[in-house]
Amino acid sequence: MADDVVVVSETIVRPESNEDGSDRVKIHLTPWDLIFLRTEYAQRALIFPKPDPKVNVISQLKSSLSAALKIVYPFAGRLVKISNEDDETASFYIELSNGVESLEGVTESLLALQVTELKDGILIGYGTNHLVADGASLWSFFKTWTEICSSARKTFPPLPLRGWFLPGVDYPIRIPISETVPSSHVRVVASSSLPYLRKKMFRFTSRHISELKAKANAEVAAVSSGEHLKISSFQAVLAHMWSSIIRNSDLNPEEVIHFKLPMDLRQRLNPPLRKECFGNMVGLPTATTTAGEMLDNGLGWAALQLNKTMRSQTDEELKRFAENWVKNPKIPNGLMLNNSFLVGSSPRFNVFGNDFGWGKPIAVRAGPGIAGHGRILVYPGTEPGSMEIQTSLWSHVLDKLLADAEFLQHVLCVHPSRL
């Protein structure tokens, strides 16, 4: 397939200049940004219907992107690294001057986009440095871009940057040099070189989700002692995926398993941040149990473990984490623990609400960054109330999962021909 792709052109799109000359901006990074220093670039792609042949797609996208980058300016910047020789540390910040592993952001663009013309559509893919923004901010930028492209709308409110962190913290934060060295294991590996890993899309209809939510809540209510806990649709779906994968993984009962959940922290702080606040405000709390406990209990129990983990992210806990992290910065190396599952994206992201003027997307896909076993990406479905989940699993686990009647009772498998 690669031989069929022809590169037509490459270009650097710069943001529209401000008339007052205030193009140079320095954005300091907080622990919520810096923990992604060793994370691979996030890669996603949207597939759109084919535009009218009369439309100059590239020209339209470039001009609207330039306008969007003026508004969401951090994506147009570069990552600056400062070596502090006095204490053998390094500091990072983003500077908009147009003039960068996220460590690779020191030399590379923080946002890269690719437009591919298909026989019957247009694919727009992106790679973005996670130091700049989380998923909520990225999709907000995408929405701004599509609105400018489709309607030439030029009036947008100023970008709300994070207005809170911690009092008394000196910026930029100093990180030990040893924590800034990129790990060779974090590099994105083409899936073709990992034949034992396979990707698969699963679709949960609104009916599937309602059934799973009702089942999980009924099981939780039956064992709860007066505590009125409510399992969400998201928790029920993830619990179904988690318990089903473990059931088909042939693990010893005593083996420890982990489930890492991304969470938007903006509204969990006191006082809360604005929902539109740009940057990284995502936590990754982890539910931990054993394979035996998972197999001995039902859907409701698994969902309750996720529920408790999410509820643990309180204002006090988040501030305690930040205060301790600044004193002893540690950057995750991107490697996943054995039997660890990591969720990315969210069904709340307005993925299918983006329209450049040719129609809404018909599919969303991830790049090779979802190459490890246990990676789970969740998107809203194209139908109201539905969800789509892309997984990367060991081949033998996926084969058993696809033959599991209990699992398949509440999900549809998406074949490549159906996108």
Q: Which amino acid is at 325?
A: W
Looking at the predicted structure, is the pLDDT value of residue 39 above 70? yes
Looking at the predicted structure, is the pLDDT value of residue 22 above 70? no
Please name which of 351, 348, 350 lies closest in space to residue 366, comparing C-alpha atoms: 351
pLDDT band at 103 (very low <50, low <70, confident <90, very high): low
Looking at the predicted structure, is the pLDDT value of residue 195 above 90? no
The CA-CA-CA angle for residues 73, 79, 80, to 5°, reads 125
pLDDT digits (tens, 9 = 90+) for 349-360: 999 999 999 999
pLDDT at residue number 189: 42
- The CA distance from 315 to 269, in Å, is 5
Looking at the predicted structure, is the pLDDT value of residue 67 above 60? yes
Q: Concatenated DSSP letters for 1-55? A: -GGG-------PPPPPPPTT----EEEEPPHHHHTTTTPPPEEEEEEEEPPPTTS
User: What tokens appear for 413 in the block?
Assistant: 């498998």
pLDDT band at 317 (very low <50, low <70, confident <90, very high): very high
pLDDT digits (tens, 9 = 90+) for 108-131: 889 999 999 998 999 999 999 999
Least confident of 60-69, 82-91, 105-114, 306-315: 105-114
pLDDT digits (tens, 9 = 90+) for 319-352: 999 999 999 999 987 656 678 999 999 999 999 9
- The CA distance from 232 to 240, in Å, is 12
pLDDT at residue number 228: 78
134 labelled catalytic: no
Asked whether the bond before 157 is cis by omega within 30 degrees of 0, the reply is no
3-state secondary structure of 233: helix
pLDDT band at 186 (very low <50, low <70, confident <90, very high): very low
Looking at the predicted structure, is the pLDDT value of residue 153 above 50? yes
200 - beta bridge partners? 391
Please name which of 233, 209, 200 lies closest in space to residue 400, comparing C-alpha atoms: 200
Q: Concatenated DSSP letters for 179-226? A: GTSPPGGGS---GGG-TTEEEEEEEE-HHHHHHHHHHHHHHHHHH-SS
Looking at the predicted structure, is the pLDDT value of residue 18 above 70? no
> Could you tell me if 144 and 71 are in contact, meaning their C-beta atoms sit under 8 angstroms apart?
yes
- The CA distance from 142 to 60, in Å, is 15
pLDDT at residue number 417: 41
* Residue in this structure with the two tokens 């033959």, named with its chain if needed: 403
pLDDT band at 100 (very low <50, low <70, confident <90, very high): very low
**Rounded mean pLDDT of 95-105?**
62
3-state secondary structure of 66: helix
Q: Which of 23, 28, 258, 355 is catalytic?
A: 355
What's the mean per-residue pLDDT of the chain? 87
Looking at the predicted structure, is the pLDDT value of residue 185 above 60? no
**Rounded mean pLDDT of 143-150?**
94
pTM: 0.89
pLDDT at residue number 156: 86
**Rounded mean pLDDT of 13-27?**
72
pLDDT at residue number 240: 98
> Could you tell me if 217 and 231 are in contact, meaning their C-beta atoms sit under 8 angstroms apart?
yes
> Could you tell me if 95 and 24 are in contact, meaning their C-beta atoms sit under 8 angstroms apart?
yes
Q: What DSSP state is assigned to residue 345?
A: S
Of the two residues 23 and 329, the one the predictor is more confident about is 329
- Pair type for strands 282-283 and 263-264: antiparallel
pLDDT at residue number 184: 54
Please name which of 392, 418, 389 lies closest in space to residue 204, comparing C-alpha atoms: 389
3-state secondary structure of 35: coil
Query: Half-sphere exposure of 362 toward its Cβ, with a 13 Å CA cutoff?
Result: 13
> Could you tell me if 321 and 274 are in contact, meaning their C-beta atoms sit under 8 angstroms apart?
no
pLDDT at residue number 335: 54
Give the number of other CB atoms < 10 A from CB of residue 71.
18
> Could you tell me if 156 and 164 are in contact, meaning their C-beta atoms sit under 8 angstroms apart?
no
28 labelled catalytic: no
* Residue in this structure with the two tokens 């073709």, named with its chain if needed: 192
Q: Which of 33, 130, 134, 208 is catalytic?
A: 130
Looking at the predicted structure, is the pLDDT value of residue 419 above 70? no
pLDDT at residue number 353: 92
- The CA distance from 400 to 358, in Å, is 40
Least confident of 35-39, 184-188, 273-277, 325-329: 184-188
Residue 170's Cα: distance from chain center in Å? 29
pLDDT at residue number 1: 44
